[in-house]
Amino acid sequence: MNSLPDRLAQIVGPSNVIPTPEPASPYLNERRGLFHGRAAAVVRPGSTEEVAAVVRLARETGAPIVPQGGNTGLVGGGVPDEQGGAILLSLTRMNRIRAVDPEGNTLVLDAGATLAQARRAAEDVDRLFPLSLAPEETCTIGGNLASNAGGLAVLAYGSMRDFVLGLEVVLADGRIWNGLRTLRKDNTGYDLKHVFTGSEGTLGIITGAALKLFARPRAVATGLAGVATPETALALFRRARAEAGPMVTAAEIIPAFGMELAAMKLGRELPLPSAPAWYVLLEFSSVSPAALTDVMQRVLEDAIEEREASDFVVANSESSRKTLWAFREAMSDSQGLAGASIKHDVAVPVADVPAFIRQAHEAALACVPGCRPCPFGHLGDGNIHFNISQPEDMAPEAFIDRWEEMNAVVHGVVARFNGSIAAEHGVGRLKRDLLTSVKSEVELDLMRRLKSALDPEGLLNPGVILPPR
């Protein structure tokens, strides 16, 4: 008998089976170093049929399959475990734009195409694909679909799930489901695309997608306001919504601590003179030409009059616009400047964001005195990245040792608001065992029934999402 890598090479060609552990290392390790996987083989199929053939071989040999896109995930959902028996299946060779229809506002593409490719394909026909994530040049559409990615444009456009018109999926038994429809309405039976979207590669391997495109904004206004508290940040967001309605396309909250780290990372001054305790980054956009900068100016002047904001700046050029966003986008990376950090991707109802931030802050400090919470993110949709930097006088390792304890504390506060402990990054391996504490037995049972129905042998991405019984 040939070895598994040899048999895989017969399917995809020898150059598309990457030897393990080296040079396959970039496929096997999670980027932040939280997960180090091992695999029997790393394989890069070039077509849907090749993916199906790999799955059939895996089934025959009993090898689990871990599908992977750009390996930019934050919960370990795209790397294998340490047992070493899995086939890592990278979709990155499958990166064709299959069809763009500016009339119908649809885009059909391979799952291994990057988010940036999708955005450019839309721009080339004067349309917008709205998903907006920092790693857009690396992350793939398939990974975005598998994790139901959120990002910076959820408030106006929704999450990845909301952009899906159809999918092509290789099933656990190696059959191909061609559900690549571009219809806006279709009620012919159960909605299978929503079953696979967000299932993190555990129910099927997404190989292609038909996505919605949108009109490109013709006018954009971006501003940054200083506010005293999360409550005033929320008041400012409400004011913006009342005035500009669905033109409010982003409302991000950032604490002074985070802005200071970002300023250090970017080598820039803080953008507001009053050194406020909190910042709100607002963006308005409109597909009609409109004086949005004037609208934003008026909203922010009113906010100052009503003592919601201390001061503000509105971008007057594309470069000043990019500078304001640079602070927000530096938020994750710059936190390393303050040592080790423990991160939480949580969501609560929008109206509860201020109370959540206050209570989680207190709870984190009670857990590790001197720790420095840096809660930032999507005020407008209730999704807060409650990241916590270590105390200044603590060893990084000692702080990281408190990871699970701190998780329990912060997630306990999330539970008070009936919130989510995995708002936009998914469950993966990282949060799998936490599901038992936040999901009812009924809900876990329903999830297991779906898994058994679609992957009865448990070959697809085992260990991800579903906690062991």
Position among 24, 30, 424, 460 found at the interface with its own copies (CB under 8 A) = 424
175 scored as a contact of its own copies (CB under 8 A): yes
Return the structure tokens found at 303: 């906010």
- Show contacts with its own copies in window 426-465 (CB under 8 A): 426-427, 431, 435, 438-440, 442-443, 446-447, 449-450, 452-454, 465
469 scored as a contact of its own copies (CB under 8 A): no
423 scored as a contact of its own copies (CB under 8 A): yes
Question: Residue 249, CB half-sphere, CA atoms under 13 Å: how many?
Answer: 19
Return the structure tokens found at 313: 């700046």
The answer to whether 308 and 236 have CB atoms below 8 angstroms apart is yes
Closest CA to 90 of 50, 136, 61, 62: 50
Position among 23, 215, 395, 415 found at the interface with its own copies (CB under 8 A) = 215
Q: Which window, 2-10, 34-42, 179-187, 263-271, contacts its own copies (CB under 8 A)?
A: 179-187
Closest separation in Å from C-beta 381 to its own copies: 4
The answer to whether 348 and 419 have CB atoms below 8 angstroms apart is yes
Q: Which window, 14-22, 195-203, 318-326, 402-410, contacts its own copies (CB under 8 A)?
A: 195-203
The Cα–Cα gap between 43 and 46 comes to 10
- Show contacts with its own copies in window 391-420 (CB under 8 A): 418-420
Token look-up 């949580």 returns 346
385 — phi, psi (to 5°)?
-90, 95
Closest separation in Å from C-beta 181 to its own copies: 7
The Cα–Cα gap between 225 and 253 comes to 10
Amino acid at 73: G
The Cα–Cα gap between 51 and 1 comes to 22
199 scored as a contact of its own copies (CB under 8 A): yes
253 scored as a contact of its own copies (CB under 8 A): no
Contacts 24+ apart (CB under 8 A), 29-34: 29/79, 30/71, 30/73, 30/76, 30/78, 30/79, 31/71, 31/72, 32/74, 34/76, 34/430
Token look-up 């096997």 returns 28
- Please, which residue, 85 or 158, has the CB nearer to its own copies? 158
- Show contacts with its own copies in window 274-293 (CB under 8 A): 286-288
159 scored as a contact of its own copies (CB under 8 A): yes
374 — phi, psi (to 5°)?
-130, 70
Closest separation in Å from C-beta 398 to its own copies: 30
Position among 41, 42, 221, 244 found at the interface with its own copies (CB under 8 A) = 244
3-state class (DSSP) for residue 167: strand
316 scored as a contact of its own copies (CB under 8 A): no
329 scored as a contact of its own copies (CB under 8 A): no
Position among 3, 10, 83, 178 found at the interface with its own copies (CB under 8 A) = 178
Closest separation in Å from C-beta 18 to its own copies: 30
